[in-house]
Amino acid sequence: MFKSTLKLIVRKTRQDLLKGKASRIILATVFLFCTASIILAFAKYRDHISQIQEHRKEVRENWEHRPDKHPHRMAHYGYLVFRSAYPLSIFDSGLDDFLGNVIFLEAHKQNTANISEAGSSGILVRFGSFNSAFILQTLVPLIIIFFGYALVSQERENATLKILNLQGASARDILWGKVLGLWQFSLCFLIPLIPVAYIFAVLAEPSMWVDILVRVIMVLVSYTMYYFFIATITVIISSFSKTSSLSLVSSIGCWLLLVVFLPKTVQFAAQNIFPTPSRIAFETTLEEEIIRSGDSHNPDDPHFKKIKDSLLKRYHVDETAKLPFNYSGFIMKEGEKMSSQIYIRHQKELQGQYINQLRFSELFGFVDPLLAVKNYSMTAAGTDFDTYQRFQGQAEQYRYKMAQHLNDLQIENISNIKPTSGQPAAVVDSDHWKEFADFEYRFSNVSETIKEQIIPFGILIFWLIACTCAIEIRSRNLKFI
């Protein structure tokens, strides 16, 4: 009896919500807005990739066509590397608009990524990107509230709630029926949009269709659980409210708390509990420690003077010009190794603070499920902070290998005896520049992404169980009059 009654209430609730002209217009409007945002993001993505390919080609050609030159001059000439967006960024741009896309690589110095969308766009970008994920996370829940706030309270006001009970529908039937009916209605905003996002993401990168498919399914599951929470909280508030107007005010207040106030409060709290230095302060501290550890460009530096003395003793010579390899290149290689180690240590400390902020935000998903679905969505779309960290890490590895490769060229091919006036300059053949391969940015695979999403997904499971328990508990003392 429970199943048949429940099915009737679910179907009746869903049909009532869908049959209205207003609901169909809103569904169509949301779908069109989301589709339009995906199409615009797709065009922007294609333009972004086209520009990156063009700039990469230009940078590579300029590098390979440099004339015969001293390797250390090439090390300071530098190299530009670019961060490509993941195809699903057309659905959820996440942090991509606020993080840099280009890093200038050079010897002895580690630069951060620059040229972000927010930095080169209007001030409105800083308030958040208007994309499909934003609409589904913030605006659709408000729409669900407007359609569901009176599902129980209005029935009580019209005295039909008691009639339902007298006809055999238990409080459990009614609550579950209203929640599931509203939840199924909410999926009408989500399910038609997912294939659109997948199709355009695959059109952007056809070779990644399997990876994109798995990520899209993960996104679908997370938003499905999120909407179940929205439907549950809306119906439960309605069941407690004596009037529909009170239910509407309470539901909107809950939406403001979960969508507007809590996320900003958590972000502010995380930044104050786990503070990070400014870019200038970070670079100044880093530079000071590198100078204290030893300056490879200073011939009188104590640290490198010890290295010089040990080399002269080992090779039984009295001056660096008699060493069987280029002494300056050897010192530069040692200096590069030292500065890189210092930079990596400081960078890990800085990233540790950012990770603490993110973990703090993730744990508050137990208070606000929007934080959980937001983090989950960004990670699945490849637009989260961890993806950005991977780019920085790969760029630094490439920079270090490039610098040491050029140092090795100097060690092996440049004489210790400086050329006098009229002699050929100390250079190496330009063919060596082509030996070092171009930078290739590698996205994290799906298995790595799933590992990163354990906490947000676990929180969504928690809310799924919590909602189920809340419905069961509320059904025991639901008032029909």
Q: What are the strands, taking DSSP E only, across 68-188?
A: 79-82, 102-105
* Domain locations along the chain: 2-417+425-476
pLDDT of residue 414: 85
C-alpha distances in Å from residue 175, one per residue of 141, 144, 180, 286, 477? 19, 16, 8, 60, 11
Q: Do residues 17 and 181 lie in contact, with contact meaning Cβ atoms separated by under 8 Å?
A: yes
pTM above the 0.85 mark?
Answer: yes
- Is residue 103 classed as helix, strand or coil in its secondary structure? strand
> Can you list the residues of the chain whose pLDDT is less than 70?
1-3, 115-129, 297, 299, 421-423
* Residues across the chain: 481
Q: Residue 98 has what pLDDT?
A: 82
Q: Which residues contact 157 (CB under 8 A, 6 or more apart)?
A: 243, 244
Taking only the tens place, the pLDDT of each residue in 358-399 is 889 989 999 999 999 999 999 999 898 888 888 988 999 999
Query: Rounded to 5 degrees, what are φ and ψ at 319?
Result: -155, 155
- pLDDT digits 0-9 by tens, 161-210: 888 888 878 889 999 999 999 999 999 999 999 999 999 999 999 988 99
User: Which residue do the tokens 């807005």 mark?
Assistant: 33
Beta-bridge partner residues of 109:
106
Instruction: State the pLDDT at residue 422.
Output: 65
